[in-house]
Amino acid sequence: MLNQYETVFIATPVLSEAQIKEAVGKFKDLINSGDCELIHEEHWGLKKLAYPIQKKSTGFYHLFEFKADPAFIGKLETEYRRDERIIRFITLKLDKNAVEYSAKRRIKLSAKAQKEE
Amino acid sequence: MTSSNSSEIRYLTPPSVEIKKKKYCRFKKNGIKYVDYKDPEFLKKFLTEQGKILPRRLTGTSLKYQRKVSQAVKRARMIALLPYVTDLLK
């Protein structure tokens, strides 16, 4: 029973580019290794937080959209909690309206990216 | 109300009776089914200057979508896309 999920996480701003890539890569591998398929990922980069988290005022945002088995989500979340580079995360299951919306959003984003090129 | 006694009182500038703008649920009208928590600019329309969620009698939203908006705002607050309290949101 594959459900579609999306997770947004915030990584500490003190990390260098390579460290960010490594942290993101670790979760990407985790997702790809399980019985899941990664649908989409977005790196929003360094953004200002609306309120300080762990005394920091900015953070690296990253978004993953993927299909997975429900049992996998528990493992993924414990990995988020264990990793010290991640200061906040939210994992959501997408219902059918949300799935439709995320597909439309991806199309819009890719069209915008193509226009900018 | 129907018979105008304009002969009795003459105004230099007649008082303007404002036509009430009909409030409607923008989600029902435009067929939007999902409120995205990742879009703070859209969600700010439903917040006061202090970042509090506006009651639906002011925004005109229907109950179903007001609950979705509220849930989206709370999620956005969790991941620091929107503040919990502030003074200068708009």
pTM of the model: 0.85
**A54: alpha, beta or left? (left if phi > 0; alpha if psi -120 to 50):** left
How many Cβ contacts (< 8 angstroms) between chains A and B? 35
Among A86, A88, A90, A108, the residue to mutate for chain B (most B Cβ within 10 A) = A90
Is residue A64 within 8 A of residue A38, CB to CB? The reply is: yes
Residue B39's pLDDT is: 92
For residue range A1-15, list pLDDT tens digits in order: 889 999 999 999 999
Residue B2's pLDDT is: 57
A63 touches chain B (CB under 8 A): yes
Angle at A26 between CA A94 and CA A107, to 5 degrees: 40
Q: Compare all CA atoms of chain B with the CA of A105 and give the residue at the minimum distance.
A: B36
Q: Which helix (H) or strand (E) holds A116?
A: helix A96-116
- Largest Cα separation within chain A, whole Å, is 40
User: Chain B contacts of A87, Cβ < 8 Å?
Assistant: none
B84 touches chain A (CB under 8 A): yes
- Rounded alpha-carbon distances, angstroms, from residue A63 to A66, A81, B5, B39: 10, 16, 67, 13
Q: How confident is the model at residue B11 (pLDDT cuts 50, 70, 90)?
A: confident
Given an 8 Å threshold on Cβ–Cβ distance, is B34 in contact with A10? no
For residue range A40-98, list pLDDT tens digits in order: 999 999 999 999 999 999 999 999 999 999 999 999 999 999 999 999 999 999 999 99
Among B67, B75, B81, B84, the residue to mutate for chain A (most A Cβ within 10 A) = B81
For residue range A95-113, list pLDDT tens digits in order: 999 999 999 999 999 999 9
Residue B43's pLDDT is: 94
* Helix ranges restricted to H, chain B: 26-30, 40-43, 56-59, 63-78
Query: In chain A, at which residue ranges do the beta strands (DSSP E only) sit?
Result: 3-11, 37-53, 56-68, 86-93
